Copies of this chain bind each other. A is one copy, B any other.
Amino acid sequence: MQALSSSFFLQMAVILTACRLVGWLGKKLGQPQVVGEMVAGVILGPSLLGGIFPEASAKLFTPETRGVLYVGAQLGVGLYMFLVGMEFRTDLFRSRVRSAASVSIAGMVVPFVLAGLLTPWLFKIPELFMPKTQLYQAGLFLGAAIAITAFPMLARIIHERGLAGTSLGTLALAAGAIDDAAAWCVLALVLASSGGASNMAVLAIAGGGIYTVLMLTIGKRALAGLGRVAARDGAVSPLLMAFVLVLFCISAWFTDSIGIHSVFGGFILGISMPRGILNEELTKKLEPFTVIFLLPMFFTYSGLDTRLAVMLDPTILLVTVVILLASVLGKGAACWAAARLHGEDSRTALAIGALMNSRGMMELIIINIGLQKGIIGPKLFAILALMAIVTTLMATPLFQWVYGRHSGKIAQPIPDGLDA
């Protein structure tokens, strides 16, 4: 046991150093912290550290510590999605639903159409999807993977630039939120249907659906009571915070148990939470440790599963290029075109395309779930991990280039936090 904690502390020292070092280098190039951490995870994995120093890597990431890294990663993304849920503003849906419709529909339909066209071909290539995955599940999963947006990062960029009230800001926020919600629903359906036995699928779909509806109605009303307690006290007591963490654990456990994933539990609880002091104080108390200590565990765990060496196979390289193109066209170009058709000027449309095309940590969360649940294989995992990094890398320079000039502001690095 003692060796376990000793290894853990050493591992975390290396992980946190790598994430911050690469993040710092990325920031010099105008990239947000999340890009650096995504790259750091891959560097720590078999693609680089494990390839060059296999012995050091094996010593650092022992099989015994793998379970700890896994649980830390799940706790990290679960809490992160809870925090994202708490920041999620459902009023955006309501106020701008019509004007954002064309962008969000384009950013949803085109990815799924392209995924539908590509999947029959990809399905024939061995080891991309797992044997038990059905064709329609493969298509839906790929569609969701292409359609997802780094919504928290998009929201952060818009907020930081003071664009929240502008046409660009509102459009991108509303469209991003709608598309992300839709992509997560599709993913939940894929997970629910891939449970193996059909009664598992029913449990997952019915359980997930009922749980979501209950949380957004009765749950939301009950949670509002907690918000009033916090507002009355002007603070969040340790007891109240512990109570919310218990709810979080139960929500994560429940969604895990019925066959969807703990991140849904975190997210659903987050959007059901009342806005106000409870929300703000919980974010202050949970965000630093989650983002700075726990999320690097997720990036590393994900990176340990990412074998970029698979690209050496010409077929896989071709698949990578095709999926990358489909992703950029299906999301970035489609949203740009929809915005242009909607009457936006060329620069605003390009900025929207760049922001919607960035997938960040959301993509990594989706593909880790896909790998865990046996939907995709390690090869497609590596391809999509690379796609996630490349599309996220593109976003900031593209956005700065078209919109930085337009607004006359100097390019500023984005502070980290919920910007993944």
Known A9-B252, A253-B6: A17·B67 in contact at CB below 8 Å? no
Q: Once the chains are docked, how many angstroms separate the CA of A241 from the CA of B289?
A: 9
B245-A74 in contact (CB<8A): no
Kindly report how many copies of this chain are found in the complex they form together: 2
A292-B71 in contact (CB<8A): no
A253-B10 in contact (CB<8A): yes
Q: Does A262 contact B (CB under 8 A)?
A: yes
Give the nearest-CB partner of A415 in chain B.
B238
Q: Does A127 contact B (CB under 8 A)?
A: no
Q: Does A356 contact B (CB under 8 A)?
A: no
Chain B residues, CB < 8 A from A24 = 239
Q: Does A293 contact B (CB under 8 A)?
A: yes
Query: How would residues 80 to 115 of chain A score, 1 for a CB under 8 Å from any chain B CB and 0 otherwise?
Result: 000000000000000000000000000000000000
Which single member of B13, B256, B288 contacts A246 (CB below 8 Å)?
B13
A286-315 with Cβ < 8 A to chain B: 286, 288-289, 291-293
Shortest Cβ distance from residue A193 to the other chain B in the assembled complex, whole angstroms: 17
Q: Once the chains are docked, how many angstroms separate the CA of A5 from the CA of B33?
A: 27
Which single member of B17, B238, B256 contacts A5 (CB below 8 Å)?
B256
Q: Does A68 contact B (CB under 8 A)?
A: yes
Query: How would residues 49 to 66 of chain A score, 1 for a CB under 8 Å from any chain B CB and 0 otherwise?
Result: 000000000000000100
Q: Once the chains are docked, how many angstroms separate the CA of A68 from the CA of B6?
A: 13
Q: Once the chains are docked, how many angstroms separate the CA of A122 from the CA of B171?
A: 75
A285-B289 in contact (CB<8A): yes
Which single member of B13, B20, B68, B257 contacts A239 (CB below 8 Å)?
B20
Chain B residues, CB < 8 A from A68 = 67-68, 71
Q: Once the chains are docked, how many angstroms separate the CA of A258 from the CA of B265?
A: 42
6 A-B pairs within 8 Å (CB atoms) are namely A8-B74, A12-B249, A16-B246, A23-B239, A33-B238, A238-B288
